[in-house]
Structure 1
Amino acid sequence: MSKRYEPETALGRIVNELEETAIAVILGAMTLITFTNVVLRYGFNTGLIWGLEATSFLFAWLVLFGVSYAVKVTAHLGVDAILNLVPRPTRRVMGMIAAAVCLAYGFLLMKGAWDYWANFANLPQTTGRWFPTGLEEMKRTSYRAWYAVVDIPMPEFLRFLEPLMNEGEEYEKLPRFIPYFILPFGMALLLFRFIQATARLVRGEQDSLIVSHEAEDAVEDASKLNWEE
């Protein structure tokens, strides 16, 4: 099993609670919607029209929350065959190079996610091909917040968004910028986790981004169970 990372700062604890709470709520909502749909379909020959789309969006949220969460608990797959062949100072340098690549990758993902989400949120995209050099000038024709999903109805408690995002026009369905918000938010969480991991490397608390060995731990746990039996 992967080691549990205990956050040291107040911000780390807040992000930790946010991720774990969100994952639990999303899993519960997916289970509830799916179970309700099964009961309605086989028991009453009906169903939630918006159930499949809602579950799909929730699954996307779960995946994107899980990406950053897996960085925190070191659950992503890693290969350390080469790292084990080099001395510790070299291993640490290689770890720093890997961390730099991860930071650049996370930053690019966040830029791309923001630019995609901005299309649906009446917000400007960033300029620059690889790294943001500023924000584009917004034009009237750039507004896309009226785009809506296919089946999920607009919740009444979100009607206050209509004068802000849709010029007072009513949304029949949920606007897309709401479920799509997980794209920039999830990538920001991923970048935050990469920064945390890099900081631990700099402080010398670990030599690489791989700080757990799930296969070896599983074999060890199995051997302990067999020994106890």
Structure 2
Amino acid sequence: MLRAIAQGLGRLEEIIICLFLVGMTLLVFFEVIVRLMYAELIELFGEGSIDIFWIEELTLMGAAWFVLFGAAYGIKVGAHIGVDAFVRLLPLAARRVVGLVVVAAGLAYCGLFLAGGWVYESKMYKIGIEMEDLPIPRWVTFSMLMLGMVMIGWRLAEIGWRILTGKAGGFDLADEAREVLEDRVEMNQEAAR
């Protein structure tokens, strides 16, 4: 049951990331087209009728949400690049200790951002400031900072639990060097044919 919920949430996370990417791409495409045709549109609709400044602000907010969703997803799938050449030389027990230290540091970082985000969000909520070009309260758009840190913290806690229960040997990261060497071997094999 819990596994099905986790898989469903993971799938939802992937869909949201894709929607942010597609949405931002379409917004920027639309903005470029409008900017290229700005003079013609002013002639057609009149001065002051074309306001596209909100697109840039919405795209920036979408990018911030996309980055934080993507960071949490990157932790989940082990896509972040790390400098762990030294750690890989350590015995398994030491790798686990280093992994737990890394997880603890990451959780502390998330905690600091959550605390700061809470202070900022509560002030923005009390003040009631809206975005410059969008009629949306600033606290709503900046709430992703706290949500993103919760997601990242959750992913780090999952890794920490896997290390503690012996299901992981440490904080597994993308191994770029191994991937490059594998690609090189594959290219050499193709060239030899």
TM-score normalised by the chain length of structure 1: 0.71
Which residue, out of 103, 122, 131, partners 1:149? 131
- The residue number in structure 2 matching 1:166 is none
Match runs of 1:88-107 below 5 Å: 88-107=92-111
Cα distance in 2 for partners of 1:90, 1:174 equals 49
Distance 1:73 1:218 in 2: 19
1:190 counterpart = 2:172: no
CA distance in 2, matches of 1:37, 1:205: 48
Structure 1, unmatched stretches of 5+, are 1-7, 122-142, 153-172
Deviation at 1:36, TM superposition (A): 0.9
Amino acid at match of 1:28: V
| Residue matched to 2:117 | 113
The structure carrying a bigger helix percent of its residues is 2
Distance (Å, rounded) in 1 between the aligned partners of 2:82 and 2:185: 23
Count the aligned residue pairs.
Answer: 180
CA distances 1:25-52 after superposition (whole Å, capped 9, x unpaired):
1111111111111111213435623111
Counterpart in 2 of 1:224? 186
What do residues 88-133 of structure 1 show as CA deviations (whole Å, max 9, x unaligned)? 2222222222222222222222222222122223xxxxxxxxxxxx
The match for 1:200 is 162
CA distance in 1: counterparts of 2:118 and 2:148, whole angstroms: 10
1:167-210 CA-partner distances (Å, limit 9, x unpaired): xxxxxx22112211111111110110011110110121221112
RMSD: 2.0
Partner of 1:32: 26
Code of the residue aligned with 1:110 in structure 2: it is: L
Q: Once the two structures are aligned, what percentage of the paired residues are identical?
A: 33
Cα offset for 1:211?
A: 4.2
* Cα distance change, pair 49–81 in 1 and its aligned pair in 2 (3 A): closer
SS in 1 for 2:171: coil
Give the Å deviation of 1:11. 4.2
Structure 2 unaligned regions, length at least 5: 42-49
* Contact kept in structure 1, 2:81 and 2:173, CA below 8 Å: no
Say whether the 8 Å CA contact 1:80–1:210 is kept in structure 2.
no
Secondary structure (helix, strand or coil) at the match of 1:148 reads coil
Kept in 2: contact 1:27–1:62 (CA 8 A): yes
Note if 1:16 corresponds to 2:20: no
Map of 1:164 onto structure 2: none
Does the 8 Å CA contact 1:120/1:147 hold for their aligned counterparts? yes
Structure with greater strand share of residues: 1
Aligned counterpart in structure 2 of residue 73 of structure 1, from 55, 58, 77: 77
Q: How far apart in 2 are the matches of 1:28 and 1:212? A: 26
Counterpart of 1:151 in structure 2: which amino acid? D
Write the letter of the residue equivalent to 2:64: A
